[in-house]
Amino acid sequence: IPTLVRPFMCWCQETSYGWHKGSQCTIPLNCKCGKSAHCVEVTAVYMDRLEHHSLMYCECCPLALTLVAMGLFPALPICPSIAFSLSHLLFANKLFIYISPNITA
């Protein structure tokens, strides 16, 4: 999680915390470690749609970093198959902070 802070803060600055559309580009895979790169299919969950992405990753450039730079948060730390929009997660966060409690139900 600590390695995801910098890409998250860059995304926040670029998109004004999700209010504006960012570049949505992936981090280029400039791997020099000599290990083979892997391709994985990730389903991205946005507020209004689902998108399927084919992403490349290597051990020296984890997939989670690429997803956070794209404005997505992975459901699993290693080889996730689904990721949620950071805008969606920030909305849910604000919703649960400011919603009135349902104590009469």
- What is the pTM assigned to this prediction? 0.74
Cα distance between residue 82 and residue 73, in whole Å: 9
Domain boundaries, the chain: 2-98
Q: What is the pLDDT tens value at each position of the chain, 105 positions in all?
A: 788 888 888 888 888 766 666 555 545 455 667 677 788 899 999 989 999 999 888 777 788 888 888 889 999 888 889 999 988 888 888 888 888 777 765
DSSP, residue by residue, the chain: -GGGHHHHHHHHHHHTTTTS----PPPP----S-PPPEEEEEEEE-SS-EEEEEEEEBTTB-HHHHHHHTTEEESSSSS-SEEEEHHHHHHHHHHHHHSPP----
